[in-house]
Amino acid sequence: MSDAIEIRGLRVLGTHGVLAEEQDHPQPFELDLLVETPFGAAAASDDIGRAVDYSEIVEVVRELVATSRFRLLEALADAIAAAVLADRRIEAVTVTVRKLRPPLAADLATVGVCLTRRQGETVRWSV
């Protein structure tokens, strides 16, 4: 796929993390999404009705991060990918989630995860 919508630097407050204070107090998260979807019909017609609307993606992701609770960034990123892929016109999505104030005793800017999911892909986890 060579067509993709880029959403970079979306900042949302959320209550995600393993520590109790992370579950009690919202903290800032920054997200990037690379949404793979064919542009052919939209580009040829210049019609928003034939395009995936990135404002709708932003709202779905913003709402999910702000209202859900996950202990792991991996679980949050996976839930975001599933929500984006609910639009069957989207072939794949790469989601990056960064915690802007990680609770670590180290001098670092962010910690985060990145994953890619494709339409119809089922991830099976074993323990």
17-23-26-27 Cα dihedral, nearest 10 degrees? -20
β-sheet with 27-36: strand ranges across: 4-14, 27-36, 92-99, 111-118
The answer to whether residue 125 scores a pLDDT higher than 80 is no
Q: Is 33 left (phi over 0), alpha (psi -120 to 50) or beta?
A: beta
Fold designation for 4-118:
GTP Cyclohydrolase I, domain 2 (3.30.1130)
Per-residue pLDDT band for 127 (boundaries 50, 70, 90) equals: very low
Distance CA 14, CA 113 (A): 16
Share of the chain above pLDDT 90, in %: 80
What are 68-83's pLDDT values in tens digits?
999 999 999 999 999 9
The answer to whether residue 123 scores a pLDDT higher than 80 is no
The answer to whether residue 109 scores a pLDDT higher than 90 is no
Distance CA 64, CA 99 (A): 15
The answer to whether residue 1 scores a pLDDT higher than 80 is no
Distance CA 18, CA 71 (A): 5
Distance CA 119, CA 52 (A): 15
Per-chain mean pLDDT for the chain = 92
Per-residue pLDDT band for 2 (boundaries 50, 70, 90) equals: confident
Q: Are 36 and 3 in contact (CB under 8 A)?
A: yes
What are 11-48's pLDDT values in tens digits?
999 999 998 888 889 999 999 999 999 999 999 999 99
Burial of 95 (0-12, 13-18, 19+ CB in 10 A): buried
The answer to whether residue 66 scores a pLDDT higher than 70 is yes
